[in-house]
Amino acid sequence: MKRRDVIRGLGLGAAAAAATACGRGADQTGPTADRRTFEWRLVTTWPANFPALGTGAIEFAHRVEACSGGRLKIRVYGDGELVPAFEVFDSVAGGTAQMGHGAAYYWKGKVPAASFFSAIPFGLTAQEMNAWLYFGGGWELWKEAYAPFGLVPLPSGSSGCQMGGWFRKEIRSMADLKGLKMRIPALGGEVLARAGGTPVTMPGAEIFTSLESGAIDATEWIGPYNDLAFGLQKAAKYYYYPGWHEPGSTLEMIINREAFESLPEDLREIVTACAAATNDRMLAEFTARNAEALQTLVRDDGVLLRPFPGEVMRELRRLTGEVLAEAAAGDPLFRRVLESLDAFRQRMIPYTDIAERAYLNSRS
């Protein structure tokens, strides 16, 4: 991958940052230049080469190698190729791999506040998440949360607002959630449990078989693009929206701090800039491909799109407030992150209403 091709494929802001970083990496010369080379391992929570998620990590590795002039080469491993999906956090913290790509909410058992840095029910959209992380103090809190584990987090991708999930039966009221066994992680799963359902956590590779066999009654995954790739429409026909549990899911690149600090300054900047480029690029890919895949699911596969009933959404939102309040009462960091995100959300709502929401309503 040539340097100019890397820059052409980025958004304007990310391209500017990457251009600067690439220049510092590839063109570094002089008697004091640090020309050491590094070979890293990057483990992911996604199946190898999975669209947008797995391929996004691979593209990140290619960009870093191109921008560094080959001084930093990164080999990417999918779920199970080096470590299982849910061991990514520990493997990077322990040094088995120097980097990991996944979703922060997978680690809520280790860091209760981690969910905020990916998505929480009725939280921020993808655009608002980026704003909070970069300009609202979110990234600083994220770094603080991961510091005890020797990890450095970088925003590195977003799915945008997800779908509500695939269901083997219709959801007409809250009564239909009682006893429902659903693959849904993190705080969304806790809200479902409070509604009388049974949340199940499993890696993506196990979802289709579990849904098809009836081991679970429903599942959320991401959105039309990735759901179509898994063939979930063959296991359930009712496709609900919106994704109340993940309104703008940020993905992460986590780096072993000791390994990161061992890099020369220019390589650290290259890694950071390429992660930002991946953050922009992945959201664009999801937005474009989800629109195409949704048409395919409805037109060719007979998928039945359904909105969650208003009663269900209102009750889930109420239960979300209970779950968040109880968790905040028992964890000081969780409370601080919640207060930061909620204050930012309240500032965003008036602007979003007169800008994004008003425009979208007029367009439709």
- Residue 141: which residues within 8 A CB-CB, separation 6 or more? 113, 116, 117, 333, 336, 337, 340
What parts of the chain have a pLDDT lower than 50? 1-12, 15-16, 19, 30-31
d(CA 267, CA 272): 9
Predicted structure pTM score? 0.90
- Kindly report, residue by residue over 212-271, the tens digit of the pLDDT: 999 999 999 999 999 999 999 999 999 999 999 999 999 999 999 999 999 999 999 999
Domains of the chain: 10-28+35-160+247-287 (3.40.190.170)
Question: How many Cβ atoms are within 10 Å of 256's Cβ, its own excluded?
Answer: 23
| 8-state DSSP, 2 | -
Is the separation of the CB atoms in 52 and 289 below 8 Å?
Answer: yes
d(CA 246, CA 138): 17
Write b or e for each residue in 278-298: b if 16 or more Cβ atoms lie within 10 A of its Cβ, otherwise e: bbbbbbebbbebbeebbeebe
Predicted pLDDT at 364:
83
- Sign for the CA dihedral angle at 245, 251, 256, 262 comes to negative
What does each C-alpha distance from 303 to 219, 227, 295, 306 come to in angstroms? 15, 12, 10, 10
Q: Which of 356, 282, 337 is nearest to 142 (CA)?
A: 337
Tally helices (H) and strands (E) across the chain. 14, 11
Predicted pLDDT at 24:
54
What stretches of 27-87 show up as alpha helix (H) in DSSP?
53-67
Question: How many Cβ atoms are within 10 Å of 305's Cβ, its own excluded?
Answer: 12
Question: How many Cβ atoms are within 10 Å of 337's Cβ, its own excluded?
Answer: 25
What stretches of the chain show up as alpha helix (H) in DSSP?
3-8, 12-26, 53-67, 88-94, 126-135, 138-146, 186-194, 207-213, 224-230, 257-262, 265-301, 310-329, 332-352, 358-363
Predicted pLDDT at 23:
54
